[in-house]
Amino acid sequence: MAPIAQAARPGRTLVALAGAFLFFYLVPFETAAVSGALLEAFAMLAEYARDHVLLCLVPAFFVAGAIMVFLNQQSVIRYLGPEANRGVAYGVAAISGTILAVCSCTVLPIFKGIYKKGAGIGPAVSFLYSGPAINILAIILTVKVLGLQLGVARAVGAILFAVAIGLLMQVIFRRTDAERVTNAAMFTSYEGDNRRSLGQTATFMASMIGILVFVNWAPASGASAAWEAVYRAKYAIATVFALVLVYAIVRWFSRSELRDWTRATRDFAIQIMPLLFAGVLVAGFLLGRPGHAGIVPERWVATLVGGNSLGANFAAALAGALMYFATLTEVPIMQGLIGAGMGNGPALSLLLAGPSLSLPSILVIHGELGFQKTAVYIALVVGLSTLAGVAYGTFAG
């Protein structure tokens, strides 16, 4: 078997080289459309690096590393594993994702951490969907900008989908998931000395999550006075959490544990960052940034999602699954598309599928779950979003 496996690698490399050759041979880089799309791809990557890496991804990598090193694996399996109480498992997963309120890429390291630590496919995917989709400020902004009816439909749909998609994934992959959790070799093991209390570990984790949440607290036109007050004080609040984190590190952790934590954080960054950057480049090339065209003209998208037909809803859900939305940017994008003729149903389809998926996140999810599970997850998100859009479009008119 070994010679066959070794022979397969050069074969795949040859196919990849042939594909790269055809790409560079056939693509008309000298045309304005292609050169503009390429420039847009790198502009989007530069914007992503400036706005999301240091304050979003880096803290998320440290949280994921801490989950791998310091959380008790048996506790994760007990509360989030395949055989855990579903009410507890999905409640914890959905609420945890809601508290983070991050974009589809920032949630990935933490999803990867809890999945590697033993969480079942269902609760892990529920967390993966809920983090970007059930964003309280985004829902409030949807109500203010796009109307109460669409905002409520988005909130209800996102909450139901977070649980429904997780449950469906658990049912579909129940056997393989149970085998995975019972096989200790499937997990990366970091064994500490367990000298911290539950309260100390919770304080340590909460301090990092507090930094991640408050340092990325975003302003929004029309938000409540309390929300704006938190925004003005966000760096002061994040500093308090940072001081708690420093105290916890100094007093409660050994040097060997901190080295393990650093290595786990590094490993997550090495695994995820190249895929995210590649995905952002491709998404930028195809669809561009808000207000900037990629190789796919914006008028095509507007034409495909006009009306409330099944095809229009599917096109909106699929486009949302491929586009990258930074936190809160989906609302002004939707406002522009609705102004260009998008129907009510497709608007909801895109709002339900878009924040939770993107081409960069799909690449990372595939790297962790494999092709089959990733394909089913995408199909569930796009399919349910399409059906919800059809139903809402029929109701809303």
Let me know if residue 259 belongs to a domain.
yes
Same domain, 260 and 367: yes
Let me know if residue 44 belongs to a domain.
yes
Write down the pTM of the prediction: 0.77
Q: How would residue 263 be classed by pLDDT, with cut points 50, 70 and 90?
A: very high
Let me know if residue 331 belongs to a domain.
yes
Q: Which of 211, 237, 253 is the last residue of a domain?
A: 253
Same domain, 244 and 351: no
Same domain, 282 and 150: yes
Summarize the chain as % helix, strand, coil (round to 5): 80, 0, 20
Domain that residue 281 falls in:
31-193+254-396
Q: Which of 204, 231, 253 is the last residue of a domain?
A: 253
How crowded is residue 243: how many other Cβ atoms within 10 Å of its Cβ?
11
> Which pLDDT value is given to residue 197?
80
Let me know if residue 7 belongs to a domain.
no
pLDDT, average across residues 334-358: 83
Q: Is residue 244's pLDDT more than 60?
A: yes
Same domain, 162 and 72: yes
Let me know if residue 22 belongs to a domain.
no
> Which pLDDT value is given to residue 62?
92
Same domain, 232 and 377: no
Same domain, 362 and 226: no
Let me know if residue 9 belongs to a domain.
no
Instruction: Report how far residue 290's alpha carbon sits from residue 89's, in angstroms, rounded to the nearest whole number.
Output: 37
Q: Is residue 331's pLDDT more than 80?
A: no
Same domain, 140 and 277: yes
> Which pLDDT value is given to residue 2?
45
Same domain, 333 and 205: no
Number of domains in the chain: 2
Q: Is residue 5's pLDDT more than 50?
A: no
pLDDT, average across residues 123-139: 82
Same domain, 184 and 291: yes
Q: Is residue 105's pLDDT more than 80?
A: no
Same domain, 266 and 124: yes
Instruction: Report how far residue 242's alpha carbon sits from residue 294's, in angstroms, rounded to the nearest whole number.
Output: 40
Render the burial of 29-52: b for 16+ CB within 10 Å, e for the rest: eeeeeeebbbebbeebbeebeeeb
> Which pLDDT value is given to residue 6?
46
Q: Which amino acid is at 357?
A: L
Let me know if residue 101 belongs to a domain.
yes
Same domain, 259 and 158: yes
> Which pLDDT value is given to residue 13?
83
Q: Is residue 194's pLDDT more than 60?
A: no
> Which pLDDT value is given to residue 4?
45
Same domain, 248 and 302: no
> Which pLDDT value is given to residue 193?
45
> Which pLDDT value is given to residue 220?
67
Q: Which of 231, 253, 275 is the last residue of a domain?
A: 253
Q: How would residue 390 be classed by pLDDT, with cut points 50, 70 and 90?
A: very high
Let me know if residue 136 belongs to a domain.
yes
> Which pLDDT value is given to residue 222?
63
Instruction: Report how far residue 363's alpha carbon sits from residue 382's, in angstroms, rounded to the nearest whole number.
Output: 16
Tell me the average pLDDT of the chain.
Answer: 82
Instruction: Report how far residue 19's alpha carbon sits from residue 21's, in angstroms, rounded to the nearest whole number.
Output: 5
